[in-house]
Structure 1
């Protein structure tokens, strides 16, 4: 059978239609690529710019700036003034002033929001938000600012009033400078805090496997010095030594345990542990305050690990700055004590092998025995005074019930 003849006219029309279709697709593709380049839709077009929003906070109801930025108006303005006094001044052509940069940092830390949400709030690009967050972080972590507000007490500083005015602590804790804690924010940290709820020393960035003892040893290399004859209150994970006054292990300690059982101490060790826990409770409270003020400390920030490790240090310096400039600040947070994390000294990990952690500290056998003797003398003195109080105030019967108990 002969092959059918192809009409040359139809063939030409078919080729032309294919070419036209290809050209149409090509033109459409080019148009789809070029159109966004020449007819962009701006992302940040809100009439309420970051500058305008900050001005609203500064001139509006006083609670607005406290909710959004974590501090009162006068504290915010004092902080801006302090940073400028330290030499942090914007360039003349800067389109974002220092106070707006600071607001970007504070808003991010208060809310814990991702960069895109902060960019929408301030109507700036992601790059700009990240740049100014890091700029303020660098300033707050610099020695000029940080060392001004976070520093250890001097050896000749007077005994804290919280001790001298509390008969349960005085004179037993007269050589105590402050309290120590290994804590968890978004990473492990080691902090020393005063009885007035200020941070005296703070280092962070350790991994989650770091023990209290190893962190303490490293902190001493980082400048954590304790004057001779003085000490810090610390939990049992640090081990006993001349510089740290720790509780007795295998003896009821945490305030939650005492509240649950509603019992009086039955011996010198229990009384010592109860008063030790009561004195250290400010550590739990101060961590509760900073974690409620700065939500970023309770969730993973949207920054690299090097930046994350510096955020807690910047925020504890800000905590001290706020307390220096607002005497009523703590009233707000401590009024919410029922919701503060670990407020009543709950055990952070009841499965920790404190004995193993204690042996990892660089403590000689002689120093350990010396520290144990000091602790025993304190416990015995507390117990003797406590029994005398019971005999006088409570009655002979209860005194007789406790009298046989001694320091085991």
Structure 2
């Protein structure tokens, strides 16, 4: 009886095993029939994408990296030569700079950039920071006053020469979006209902930045930011006898030539009625020449969309990104400035908030007597020539 029971058990186990084997074979056959996802060579796809941008049309490269291929390769060479950015086992300098420029040019999130080039978010973030530090090391080499000679834009114009022969550029502040902790947002709110940082910049007439100071709160007055720039060690300095064009908010002081207060100034105010006295003529030509600063801000903000969008990184990084954008802008202007971004921005220059702001909203700034006398001297010489020549 026991032998029969044991045999029955073995028979049952055997039948179960046979059924199991049959099911496994069936499942395997089904698995072989399921379509597999195609194999993607991430390294090859990444290289093909980067090459399509760098070796395609110049316009496509400008659209993607905000500069022509010649400027891109020159920037890579400069960063490599100075050992500011180094190739690694996993990533070339070309790819590192490619990632950085694409992010600041289009305000692309790290994860989006990572998915586009088959890199992890952490990897993109890490190399972005590396290139950011490398670009900032070029600040002193690229952002400085190149020459104290009279700029050709002034020398070759009867409207500006010899009256502004000692002028080396224009100075103003602009507001860049900022993201800060709630407890300090009040300090960063300016006239508009959003948080910004007030960025001081001096620009020469070839549209290159000669000084940039970022990081001040949006509520800070321009004159306060300028005083800080002068006070910093190795900060803003103006060559002896030279000056920048500023607006009334800075006051008429040593090295800053400002327009007359309570006198027509903006170009649109003269559209239907020419200047009627010496002060109006001075303000008109001062405004015409000072549009350089608006063109400079317009170009750099149009080129780097990250400057006009809500930031998603820490505030110290936001400040560094502003400076880096100005450094890269100067690099482009020195290598290959003529491209459609530049042309579009130049055609779309509008008056900034600072130009439109009335004196009643500004802090009282004391003028320098000697510079008031200098301005009067220029003004009278300009008016005498204007009356004599009729233009």
TM-score (norm 1): 0.76
Tell me which of 65, 69, 85 is aligned to 1:69: 65
Structure 1 counterpart of 2:306? 296
Q: Distance in 1 between matches of 2:120 and 2:84?
A: 23
Question: What is the Cα deviation at residue 158 of structure 1?
Answer: 1.6
Report if aligned partners of 1:69, 1:106 keep a CA contact under 8 Å in 2. Answer: yes
What is the aligned residue count? 332
Does residue 339 of the first structure (1) align with residue 348 of the second (2)? yes
Structure 1 counterpart of 2:13? none
Deviations 1:202-247 (A, max 9, x none): 1111110111111110011232111222111101110111211001
Q: Distance in 2 between matches of 1:177 and 1:380?
A: 21
Mapping of residues 282-321 of structure 1, within 5 Å: 282-321=292-331
Question: What is the Cα deviation at residue 300 of structure 1?
Answer: 2.0
Q: Distance in 2 between matches of 1:352 and 1:191?
A: 21
Which structure 1 residue ranges, 5 or more long, are not aligned? Answer: 1-40, 394-408
State the secondary structure of the residue aligned to 2:363.
Answer: helix
| Cα pair distance change 1:167/1:46, threshold 3 Å | same
Tell me which of 115, 118, 134 is aligned to 1:120: 115
Question: What is the Cα deviation at residue 90 of structure 1?
Answer: 3.2
Structure 1 counterpart of 2:269? 257
Report if aligned partners of 1:50, 1:100 keep a CA contact under 8 Å in 2. Answer: no
State the secondary structure of the residue aligned to 1:358.
Answer: coil
Report if aligned partners of 2:61, 2:68 keep a CA contact under 8 Å in 1. Answer: yes
Tell me which of 299, 318, 324 is aligned to 2:334: 324
Q: Distance in 2 between matches of 1:271 and 1:132?
A: 52
State the secondary structure of the residue aligned to 1:185.
Answer: strand
Structure 1 counterpart of 2:186? none
Structure 1 counterpart of 2:55? 59
Does residue 102 of the first structure (1) align with residue 73 of the second (2)? no
Q: Distance in 2 between matches of 1:256 and 1:115?
A: 43
Report if aligned partners of 2:173, 2:354 keep a CA contact under 8 Å in 1. Answer: no
Worse-matched range after superposition: 60-69 or 240-249: 60-69
Deviations 1:167-194 (A, max 9, x none): 1111111111111111123321111111
State the secondary structure of the residue aligned to 1:309.
Answer: helix
Mapping of residues 3-402 of structure 1, within 5 Å: 49-88=45-84, 90=86, 92=88, 94-142=89-137, 145-153=138-146, 157-186=148-177, 187-222=197-232, 223-259=235-271, 262-329=272-339, 332-340=341-349, 342=350, 348-351=355-358, 353=360, 356-359=363-366, 368-390=368-390
Report if aligned partners of 2:298, 2:345 keep a CA contact under 8 Å in 1. Answer: no
Provide the aligned C-alpha RMSD in A: 2.2
TM-score (norm 2): 0.79
Report if aligned partners of 1:277, 1:345 keep a CA contact under 8 Å in 2. Answer: no
Report if aligned partners of 1:57, 1:65 keep a CA contact under 8 Å in 2. Answer: yes
State the secondary structure of the residue aligned to 2:215.
Answer: strand
Question: What is the Cα deviation at residue 351 of structure 1?
Answer: 4.3
| Cα pair distance change 1:355/1:316, threshold 3 Å | closer
State the secondary structure of the residue aligned to 1:195.
Answer: coil
Structure 2 counterpart of 1:14? none
Q: Distance in 2 between matches of 1:90 and 1:161?
A: 39
Report if aligned partners of 2:199, 2:213 keep a CA contact under 8 Å in 1. Answer: yes
Question: What is the Cα deviation at residue 258 of structure 1?
Answer: 2.5
| Cα pair distance change 1:268/1:70, threshold 3 Å | same
Question: What is the Cα deviation at residue 354 of structure 1?
Answer: 6.2
Q: Distance in 2 between matches of 1:74 and 1:275?
A: 37
Deviations 1:116-144 (A, max 9, x none): 222222221111111111111101112xx
Structure 2 counterpart of 1:37? none
Q: Distance in 1 between matches of 2:345 and 2:243?
A: 31
Question: What is the Cα deviation at residue 385 of structure 1?
Answer: 0.9
Structure 2 counterpart of 1:402? none
Deviations 1:85-119 (A, max 9, x none): 10145355x21111111111100111112222222
Q: Distance in 1 between matches of 2:364 and 2:113?
A: 42
Which structure 2 residue ranges, 5 or more long, are not aligned? Answer: 1-36, 178-196
